[in-house]
Amino acid sequence: MNDELKHTPAPWRWWNGNTLMGDHGRRPIVLYARNMVTINADGFMEPNNSNSADCRLISVAPELLKALKRADTELRLRIGLCTNRTQDEKEMLREIFDVIQKAEGRE
């Protein structure tokens, strides 16, 4: 399995209320009015391949959030039973919590 990141790395940000932008080298990948486009070298929008890694990631975002929330609940239960949590465990739980908050607009 290739571990190389195929989608546009975080952070992605909303711009102007309807454009989701992520830095993809020098050319941003944008979700504009629910259509995936790229910005070409001339600064114009072009349709993006609907099979791109970004499209796949965006399309499964709700499932990823649901799975993360389920994992968070289970981890908190299991780790919560331990009396001596490691710093790594505490940081992992904090990171999961922060990402869920961000995804739900409660950051």
Q: What is the pLDDT of residues 6-60, one digit of tens each?
A: 666 677 777 666 667 766 554 566 666 666 677 777 877 777 665 567 777 777 8
d(CA 31, CA 36): 5
Note if the pTM is more than 0.85.
Answer: no
Q: Contact, 46 vs 40, CB < 8 A?
A: yes
Q: What is the DSSP letter of 9?
A: P
Q: What is the pLDDT of residues 92-102, one digit of tens each?
A: 999 999 999 98
